[in-house]
């Protein structure tokens, strides 16, 4: 009987040599005349252990990692195909504390199945949500999603069910479901992981959204920086079409739904929904003024649901298990689970899906295990390049939309980037402005010009030119950008800047002083 060996195909694993490891295992097995089948699964999300090789044993899957090509011969020698001891052995995958303590709903199959096997998908609970949706009146699907408390996981946290209801009630000959897969925030990779590791769950979520709102066409706007995800999603859409999951009659029902994968072209601002829609239409990715809302006039001025990947990928389990099941996880008005992405200078980085409500300290020190370098944590940026920097003093903030807003931050797409004490917060503040200047779409003045001025002001602070005056100017500039910008790019750039200034004022002191004092 063939032994199943899993070597992830997730780009996080490919980036650290998973293809070479898979090839080496195949070579060594052939040399030893052993019957081994290698499955290229998604990732379990424990990035520090990648490439994480798993072997199916009668007692469950056993993990080894991080495996390099040089380790392969010794893995065979020590009997890893039977799950025997090896210095890289991590024991049963599902017993690894980082994995065991999670609540995996959206990522239930990611890392377990072959991403491009519909049979595997169905065997692990896939398609149950879509079958239930087909049998329900569309209004009831919308009501279920609303009752589940699911909020947009892209960052804004808008209730998904309300968006769907608006589009469902709009009258038009053609409506659309657009999946925002332009995951540009540094520190985030949940969208990429689900698309590379369990693409059918996104397709299923989009089909359900289509049925619920009367939309027959879907688009996934996927950033060009993710070529591996584009390849997997494109293949998955073809397979889904052949399987009858997409097409003029979804699983033989009266509902039609089909979809296309579209590649972005390197503009961060296209993660903003209206600029994404312009880009999808073949225009410059310039932000639109709202109203009209995309739900009324979106793609090609027709009613359009624009949802983040994780929002849509969370829909199948809500339909399958019911609104109450999902809503019972979480705290306050933040219901369900959130895939935390723990990244940067951290010992145990990766994806950790859990109910809302853990504190930032529990996440960074507990789950993440502190910094990779072993130095003290200085700051944690939550929510991407537009998110605030949190000092240790705010580590008791619970992970919840409202609690983060109260602490002058945002959870955004739930990316958490850890910095050790070598971080220079003035440099980080300057970078936030520089990034905004590079990526501004140019439509509104506070963002287009404010960001350029912000870089100049930061440079003056660095060079000690009238620092007190410059800090007052920077604060004023941030205020203008926050309240005067059309979208979150200009409007939220003040978060990293002002949080750096508020929590780390010592880094904004003139550098010449520090040198002179030594």
Partner 1 sequence: MAVELSAREIGDRVGAIVDACASLEGPLLPILHGVQAEFGFVPQTALRLIADRLNLSRAEVHGVMTFYHDFREEPAGRHVLKLCRAEACQSMGGDEIAERAKAQLGVDWHGTTPNGAVTLEPVFCLGLCSCAPAAMVDGRVVGRLNDDRIDAVIEQVRA
65, two tokens? 């990692």
CB of 348: closest distance to partner 1 in angstroms? 9
226 forms part of the interface with partner 1 (CB under 8 A): yes
CB of 228: closest distance to partner 1 in angstroms? 7
Region near partner 1 per CB under 8 A, out of 81-89, 281-289, 485-493, 503-511: 281-289
CA dist., res. 421 & res. 227, Å (int): 34
Among 38, 179, 206, 280, binds partner 1 (CB under 8 A): 280
Q: If 0-12 CB within 10 Å is exposed, 13-18 middle and 19+ buried, where does residue 517 land?
A: exposed
Region near partner 1 per CB under 8 A, out of 98-106, 147-155, 189-197, 465-473: 189-197
Cis peptide before 65 (omega within 30 of 0): no
Q: Which of residues 44-73 bind partner 1 (CB under 8 A)?
A: 47-48, 50
Count of CA atoms in the C-beta half-sphere (13 A) of 504:
24
24, two tokens? 């080496």
485 and 491 Cβ atoms separated by less than 8 Å: yes
Among 167, 213, 311, 428, binds partner 1 (CB under 8 A): 428
192 forms part of the interface with partner 1 (CB under 8 A): yes
Its sign, for the CA torsion 235, 240, 241, 243, is positive
Helix intervals (H) in 348-424? 360-361, 401-406
Taking every pair of Cα atoms in the chain, the longest distance, rounded to a whole number of angstroms, is 77
CA distances from 402 to 54, 324, 383, 384, 407 (A): 39, 21, 14, 17, 9
| Nearest CA-CA partner of 396 in 366, 374, 420 | 366
CB of 432: closest distance to partner 1 in angstroms? 9
507 forms part of the interface with partner 1 (CB under 8 A): no
Helix (H, G, I), strand (E, B) or coil at 245: coil
Region near partner 1 per CB under 8 A, out of 125-133, 165-173, 247-255, 436-444: 436-444
Binding mask 325-364 for partner 1 (x = CB under 8 A): ----------------xxxxxx--xxx-------------
CA dist., res. 259 & res. 265, Å (int): 19
Region near partner 1 per CB under 8 A, out of 43-51, 86-94, 303-311, 453-461: 43-51
Neighbours of 106 (CB within 10 A): 29
516, two tokens? 């002179």
CB of 265: closest distance to partner 1 in angstroms? 4
Among 86, 439, 491, 498, binds partner 1 (CB under 8 A): 439
5 or 49, CB closer to partner 1? Answer: 49
CA angle 300, 196, 207 (to 5 degrees): 45
Region near partner 1 per CB under 8 A, out of 42-50, 93-101, 114-122, 500-508: 42-50
303 forms part of the interface with partner 1 (CB under 8 A): no
| Nearest CA-CA partner of 241 in 227, 256, 228, 226 | 256
Using CB under 8 A as the binding criterion, the count of chain residues that bind partner 1 stands at 64
57 or 263, CB closer to partner 1? Answer: 263
CB of 63: closest distance to partner 1 in angstroms? 17
Q: Which of residues 106-125 bind partner 1 (CB under 8 A)?
A: none
Region near partner 1 per CB under 8 A, out of 54-62, 144-152, 430-438, 478-486: 430-438
Name residues whose C-beta falls within 8 Å of residue 200's C-beta, 6 or more positions apart in sequence: 115, 118, 121, 126, 127, 236, 240, 245
95 and 215 Cβ atoms separated by less than 8 Å: no
Q: Which of residues 145-174 bind partner 1 (CB under 8 A)?
A: none
279 forms part of the interface with partner 1 (CB under 8 A): yes
CA dist., res. 116 & res. 23, Å (int): 19
CB of 439: closest distance to partner 1 in angstroms? 7
Region near partner 1 per CB under 8 A, out of 56-64, 144-152, 259-267, 508-516: 259-267
95 and 122 Cβ atoms separated by less than 8 Å: no
163 or 192, CB closer to partner 1? Answer: 192
Q: Which residues bind partner 1 (CB under 8 A)?
A: 11-12, 14-16, 47-48, 50, 183-189, 191-192, 224-228, 260, 262-268, 279-286, 299-300, 341-346, 349-351, 372, 381, 385, 415, 417-420, 423, 428, 431, 435, 438-439, 441
């Amino acid at each position: 009987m063939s032994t199943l060996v899993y070597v992830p195909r997730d780009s996080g694993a490919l980036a650290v040599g998973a293809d070479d490891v898979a090839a080496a295992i195949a070579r060594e097995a052939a040399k030893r005349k052993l019957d081994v089948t290698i499955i290229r699964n998604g990732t379990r999300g424990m990035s520090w252990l990648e490439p994480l090789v798993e072997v199916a044993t009668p007692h469950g899957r056993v993990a080894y990692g991080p495996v390099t090509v040089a380790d392969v011969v010794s893995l065979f020698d020590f009997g890893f195909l039977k799950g025997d001891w090896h210095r890289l052995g991590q024991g049963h995958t599902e017993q690894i504390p980082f994995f065991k303590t999670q609540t995996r709903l959206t990522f239930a199959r990611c890392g377990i199945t072959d991403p491009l096997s519909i049979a595997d998908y169905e065997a692990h609970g896939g398609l149950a949500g879509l079958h239930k949706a087909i049998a329900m009146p569309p209004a009831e699907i919308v009501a279920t999603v609303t009752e589940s408390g699911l909020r947009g996981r892209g960052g804004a946290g808008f209730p998904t069910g309300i968006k769907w209801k608006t589009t469902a009630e709009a009258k038009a000959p053609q409506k659309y479901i657009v999946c925002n897969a332009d995951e540009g925030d540094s520190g985030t990779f949940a969208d990429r992981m689900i698309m590379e590791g369990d693409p059918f769950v996104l397709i299923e979520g989009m089909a359900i959204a289509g049925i619920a709102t009367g939309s027959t066409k879907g688009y996934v706007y996927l950033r060009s920086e993710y070529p591996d995800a584009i390849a997997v999603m494109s293949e998955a859409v073809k397979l889904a079409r052949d399987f009858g999951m997409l097409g003029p009659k979804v699983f033989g029902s009266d509902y039609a739904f089909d979809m296309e994968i579209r590649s972005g072209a390197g503009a961060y601002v296209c993660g903003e929904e209206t600029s994404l829609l312009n880009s999808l239409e073949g225009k410059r990715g310039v932000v639109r003024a709202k109203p009209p809302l995309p739900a009324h006039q979106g793609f090609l001025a027709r009613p359009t649901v624009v949802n983040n990947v994780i929002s849509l990928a969370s829909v199948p389990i809500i339909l399958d298990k019911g609104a109450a099941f999902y809503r019972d996880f979480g705290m306050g008005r933040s219901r369900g689970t959130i895939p935390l992405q723990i990244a940067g200078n951290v010992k145990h980085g990766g994806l950790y899906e859990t109910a809302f409500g853990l504190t930032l300290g529990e996440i960074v020190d507990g789950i993440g295990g502190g910094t990779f370098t072993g130095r003290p944590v200085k700051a944690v940026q939550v929510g991407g390049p537009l998110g605030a920097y949190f000092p240790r003093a705010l580590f008791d903030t619970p992970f919840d939309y409202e609690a983060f807003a109260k602490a002058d931050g945002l959870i955004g797409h739930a990316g958490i980037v850890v910095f050790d004490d070598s971080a220079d917060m003035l440099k980080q503040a300057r970078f936030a402005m520089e990034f905004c200047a590079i990526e501004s779409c140019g439509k509104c003045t506070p963002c287009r010009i404010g960001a350029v001025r912000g870089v100049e002001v930061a440079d003056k602070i660095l060079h000690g030119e009238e620092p007190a005056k410059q800090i007052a100017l920077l604060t004023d500039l941030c205020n203008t950008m926050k309240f005067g910008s059309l979208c979150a790019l200009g409007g939220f750039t003040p978060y990293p800047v002002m949080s750096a200034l508020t929590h780390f004022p010592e880094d904004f002191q003139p550098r010449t002083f520090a040198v002179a004092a030594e």
